[in-house]
Amino acid sequence: MFKAIPFQYDSELKREIDLRGLSPSTFVNYRSHLRRISEYFECDIKDVGLEDAKEYLYHLKAELHRQPQTINICRAAYTFFRHNVLGDYFPAYLLPQHKLVYKLPDILPAENIFAVLERLSLKHKAITSLCYGSGLRISEAVGLEVGDIDSASMKVYVRNAKGEKQRYTILSKFSLNCLRRYWKSCRPPGQILFPKLHTPGEPSFTQYLQQKFCDTYKELFPNSNKRITIHTLRHCFATHLLDNGADLRTLQLLLGHKSIRTTSMYTQLTEYSFSKLVSPIDRGRA
């Protein structure tokens, strides 16, 4: 267990992040990584030098077996702090960036997803159904306001999308039914649709819901070897829409992807396009 070292730069770090229009989650993630670096070396983060940072990143990779994305976020946090809070500039290439490894996500059958939904509480069922039925990230789902649900047009306004962008996506009849039952049962007191229990002006925490989804899936399907998180539901939304004949441009808009190249990943996962292909060896023997 590392020694707890006070982090004394909250206001400075938040100011620099806000000035650049970065999201509140960036502040939370950067602060968390900086605290862990500080505790690892048992000293103030400003006293952690460049070689120390390299040692810590290697510790994340070799000993803790963290994913490349996590290592790169830690690197970005340290570089941002040194450059913008301490004013201590160094060329970023001196702190190596880990090569990213992109893996195709695992996709769940729709019947498995519905089996999990039926095990969740009413509130969690409503949130999780939006992740699958509308392709929302979990942070987008819990950040919804009451007025973001348009039942007349069957669409959802996503106000807290990645990169501070906004978009519209579809609203499923299943989710609408869950939302109406949730509304009658819980009746949130403010504008936030899924507020915290004791602070209704703030969205619910996502950690418990993510863990509940994973635990329920493992309980129902103990022999599954799929890599499952609640974000898997967003991948399932995209892949299952393609299976039903949706086009990539529409899918890009619903998911809020900046580039269609990101959306095109799902063409490797869909059964629809593959079912229409004929291998040249079979065509030649037809």
Domain ends where: 67, 94, 121? 94
Task: Tell whether 166 and 190 lie within a shared domain.
Answer: yes
Task: Tell whether 269 and 131 lie within a shared domain.
Answer: yes
Phi/psi at 76 (5° precision): -65, -40
Dihedral sign computed on CA atoms, order 95, 96, 102, 108: negative
Task: Tell whether 257 and 130 lie within a shared domain.
Answer: yes
Task: Tell whether 133 and 87 lie within a shared domain.
Answer: no
Instruction: Work out how many domains the chain is built from and give that number.
Output: 2
Domain extent for 182? 110-273
Task: Tell whether 83 and 119 lie within a shared domain.
Answer: no
For residue 80, being part of any structural domain is answered with yes
Residue 116 makes CB contacts below 8 A (sequence gap 6+) with: 128, 213, 216, 217, 220
Per-residue pLDDT tens over the stretch 24-80: 889 989 999 999 999 999 999 999 999 999 999 999 999 999 989 999 999 999 999
Helix ranges restricted to H, 42-121: 50-62, 68-80, 110-117
What is the pLDDT of the chain when averaged over all its residues? 90
Give SS3 for 87.
Answer: coil
Task: Tell whether 158 and 62 lie within a shared domain.
Answer: no
Catalytic residues: 137, 162, 231, 234, 257, 266
Under the banding of pLDDT at 50, 70 and 90, the label for residue 273 is low
Task: Tell whether 44 and 146 lie within a shared domain.
Answer: no
For residue 152, being part of any structural domain is answered with yes
pTM comes to 0.78
Contacts 24+ apart (CB under 8 A), 188-194: 188/146, 191/145, 191/146, 191/147, 192/143, 192/144, 192/145, 192/146, 193/144, 193/145, 193/146, 193/148, 193/149, 194/123, 194/126, 194/127, 194/141, 194/142, 194/144
For residue 280, being part of any structural domain is answered with no
Domain ends where: 94, 127, 156? 94
Task: Tell whether 157 and 25 lie within a shared domain.
Answer: no
Task: Tell whether 128 and 163 lie within a shared domain.
Answer: yes
For residue 99, being part of any structural domain is answered with no
% pLDDT > 70, the chain: 94
For residue 1, being part of any structural domain is answered with no
For residue 24, being part of any structural domain is answered with yes
Task: Tell whether 118 and 90 lie within a shared domain.
Answer: no
CATH number for 188: 1.10.443.10
For residue 144, being part of any structural domain is answered with yes
Domain ends where: 94, 118, 147? 94
CATH number for 14: 1.10.150
For residue 179, being part of any structural domain is answered with yes
Q: Does residue 162 register a pLDDT over 80? A: no
Q: How big is the CA angle at 143 (ends 142 and 147), to the nearest 5 degrees?
A: 110
Task: Tell whether 115 and 257 lie within a shared domain.
Answer: yes
What pLDDT score does 113 carry?
96
- Pick the more confident residue, 276 or 232: 232
Task: Tell whether 81 and 151 lie within a shared domain.
Answer: no
